[in-house]
Amino acid sequence: MDTLKTESQSIISIKRLGIILTSGLILYGLYLISRNNYLLFHGLVEVFSIVVAGGIFMVFWNSRRFLDNGYYLFIGIAYVFIGGVDLIHTLGYKGMGVFPEYDANLPTQLWIAARYLESFTLLLAPFLLWRKLKIYHVTGFYMIVTSLLLASIFFGIFPECFVEGAGLTLFKRVSEYVISMILMISIFLLYRRREFFDQDVFRLLIASIVVTIGSELSFTLYRNVYGLPNMIGHLLKIVSLYLVYKAYIEAGLTKPFTIIFKELKENEKELWQHRENLEKLVQNRTHELQQTTNELMRSNKELEQFVYVASHDLAEPLRSVISFLQLIEKRYQGRLDKEGEEFIQFAVNGAARMKRMLESLREYSTAEKQLGALTQIDTQLVIAQSLQKLKVMIDESEAKITADPLPEVIANDTQLGFVFCHLIRNAIDYRSVETPQIHVGIKSLNGEWQFSIRDNGVGIEPQYFERIFLIFKRLYSEVEQPGDGLGLATCKKIIERDGGRIWVESTPGEGSTFYFTILKNRSDQAFQMPIIG
């Protein structure tokens, strides 16, 4: 493994040495060309800069659909306009003959215009990192600025930069220093945002700007456009553009993830971070919810125990109260005035009602206790037993009760018997005619049995359909109809606890139909059902 690593490092070192030697030979060749034909030398340098500018534009423009990072697209759009000004600068260079009516001042002005455009671009670009760019607005902006610069140069508005026989103007020299200062600020801004760049790309960008500053400073020294400082400035420009090429074009084409899709890596990293944060949040919320659920279950259990104990313990003194009230009623019958006898009767009835309420409250509180096992039972038998318990009430009301052929179900017979007893009792209690007509129906649905108890009683207003299943909620007073407001609430608790539903449909004056469902298939046959009473 160490041998392979050493060989790999040697290959890289040889490759770098080859690049350095090749670059040195190219620069030396350009130097020789400049000594023999400066115009050709200048043309080659500027063509290279124009090609690089166009290449940067092509790479990032064609990648715009994938780029959320405005930095690269902004650079790409700007460089096509910078390259355009450089092209006109090349054509206007002294000796090209494209603009014969202009002297060496024209290409110098175009050079300064292009460098201002480039320096301000590099200054603004760091502020656009990870921002979505409005490309047509940027393109329009650069088109307007470039047109204004060119118009000011060709119409004589732009300040003079070179005077034949005298050399560079003060404006030209000051501009080179200003441009260099702007480039130094852009280096500072890039350094502060270095985490957004690939390490190699960042180094190449910084190096290219540093070399560009050296190029600009050399351009403050020449006295004619063919002078040595001018040549050194153009050679440094070649080096700078080569670094730009390495940073933007070569890396963008050979290592696309380095530049174009680096933001996708960052987005992915950010997404994973958000996912980890979300998972932690879910874990915390789940833990909190579990704690809340446990606390609620504990509170409910304590409340159920309290209700059960309270209803049980209150029953004994209440029996004594009822016994003594009945004894007073019997012993002092005829010895009290009418008002006194009414008072005793109210007390007896109130105590009897409290006794019924305590019994119903105990039944409701134990509806959640797991005391009875699910078994396969014959619903016909459960109905028969329920009717036997209600025989006296049925006989007194002369109620007519019919039933469909009922299936066998998996349930607890005591619990199911309570539901049938209470719904049939209610149908009799809330009758509106002399002879109550009650029918027990059955319907097979997908995965459950739907039972129905239909009557011809007084009916219920729609706004009370939900209320009647709440604890201690009654539609009528104790004088109008007997009851304690716990029966339907207990039925609801039994049915829903076993995975079913219970509801009512009714028309006032025509009767009501109560429905409840029981699941057909149960995977846990040992599931415990509560026992009432």
pLDDT in tens, 49-92: 888 888 888 887 877 776 666 788 888 889 899 989 989 988 98
| pLDDT surpasses 90 at 158 | yes
Cβ-Cβ contacts under 8 Å for 374 (sequence gap 6 or more): 410, 411, 412, 522, 525, 526, 527, 528, 529
Cβ-Cβ contacts under 8 Å for 61 (sequence gap 6 or more): 73, 76, 77
8 Å CB contact between 88 and 49: no
**The pair of three-digit structure tokens given for residue 339, joined into one six-digit string:** 């008002």
| pLDDT surpasses 80 at 142 | yes
Cβ-Cβ contacts under 8 Å for 128 (sequence gap 6 or more): 69, 70, 71, 74
Handedness of CA 120, 121, 122, 124 (dihedral sign): positive
* Pairing status of strand 511-519 against strand 448-454: antiparallel
User: What is the number of helices (H) and of strands (E) in the chain?
Assistant: 15, 11
One fold for 38-260 and 370-533: no
Give pLDDT, residue 526. 37
Give pLDDT, residue 121. 92
Asked if the 370-533 domain carries CATH number 3.30.565.10, the reply is: yes
8 Å CB contact between 427 and 457: yes
Q: Which CATH architecture has domain 38-260?
A: Up-down Bundle (1.20)
Coil, strand, or helix at residue 412?
coil
Strand partners, 514: 453, 504
8 Å CB contact between 161 and 109: yes
| pLDDT surpasses 80 at 243 | yes
Chain-wide mean pLDDT for the chain? 78
Confidence bin at 388 (pLDDT 50/70/90)? very high
8 Å CB contact between 484 and 357: yes
Q: d(Cα 237, Cα 472) in Å, to the nearest integer?
A: 92
Confidence bin at 530 (pLDDT 50/70/90)? very low
Strand partners, 519: 448
Domain boundaries, the chain: 1-36, 38-260, 262-368, 370-533
- Number of residues in the chain: 533
**The pair of three-digit structure tokens given for residue 356, joined into one six-digit string:** 């019924």
**The pair of three-digit structure tokens given for residue 44, joined into one six-digit string:** 């080659």
339-348, 380-389, 431-440: range with highest mean pLDDT: 380-389
